[in-house]
Amino acid sequence: MPTTQLRDIAYGPHERNVLDAYLPGNTETPSPAVIYFHGGGYVNGDKRAVLSSKLMEECLTAGISLISANYRFITTSPFPAPMDDGTRAIQFVRHMAKEWHIDASRIASSGGSAGGHVALWNALKGDRSKPDSADPVERQSSAVSAFVGFVTQVSKDQRFYKDIYEGPHIQPNLLLYYGLGSLDELNEPDNLKLAERASAITYMSADAPPALMTYDLPLVGPYIPKEMTVGEVIHHPIHGYMLKQKYDELGKRFVLRHEGDPLREGEIAQFLLDSFA
């Protein structure tokens, strides 16, 4: 299918507020769209990471537009900057929907690792539009129809690991993420509240969109083995497992894949199309 490619489109005022759009060229009806946020621990990475992904291959084959966005790094702009950029990117795509021949009512968020958390935080947070704003982009809804996450964290609160992990590691870049100077500050009351606001799982509700999350490690029991590396801890399928419990309690659709139960061929695109229906 022919694809229109738009590169380095500014969606906001900051240097890293740029995105690439891959539009499948549907001629009859507007296409649904997925907005992807790259990984990199909130300190590196680029929107081009999506080019070699299964997500891009399946979306374009299925006639789904794919938009890949950069966002501000926490080295200069700590929380909530990356999440705010995620919100703005979703709103911008909706603002451009008519011009890009996208169905504004069928937009999903997606991402890998840190970018997955940006996408999930926005998916669970729901609509953050400002109807009275003078900025037409801010007046757009930021709600999404579905979420697809790759090795995604669900929390930036170190208390998340209580009872499921006994190892020594804390999440990398945590002080940068909050703009703090020392580990001792993490346990101050105001910063514990900040950790809750910064964590996607905090916003789980009956309004949560359908979710699919996939991980490269096995899920053996509801815990993280303490001998795992810090990279394995933050990318462990226990993150998806813990969120799935909340989805299940509310009877919401949630697909969890990991090394022991991997993705099926074409499953991502089919999940999205079912969610858009």
Please tell me which residue, 28 or 18, carries the higher pLDDT value.
18
Domain ranges for the chain, please list them: 4-276
Q: Is the pLDDT of residue 30 over 60?
A: yes
Residue 219 φ/ψ, nearest 5 degrees: -110, 105
pLDDT at site 28: 82
pLDDT, tens only, 220-246: 889 999 999 999 999 999 999 999 999
- Starting at the edge strand found earlier in the chain, the sheet holding 254-257 runs 4-10, 18-23, 65-69, 31-37, 102-112, 147-150, 211-214, 254-257
Tracing tokens 């940006």 back to the chain, one arrives at: 118
CB atoms within 10 A of CB 155: 22
Helix ranges restricted to H, the chain:
54-61, 81-95, 97-100, 114-125, 174-178, 189-197, 230-234, 238-249, 267-276
Fold of 4-276: Rossmann fold (3.40.50)
Q: Mind listing the pLDDT tens digit for each residue in 99-145?
A: 999 999 999 999 999 999 999 999 999 999 999 999 999 999 999 99
Confidence band of 2 (pLDDT split at 50, 70, 90): low
- Asked whether the predicted pLDDT for residue 23 surpasses 70, the reply is yes
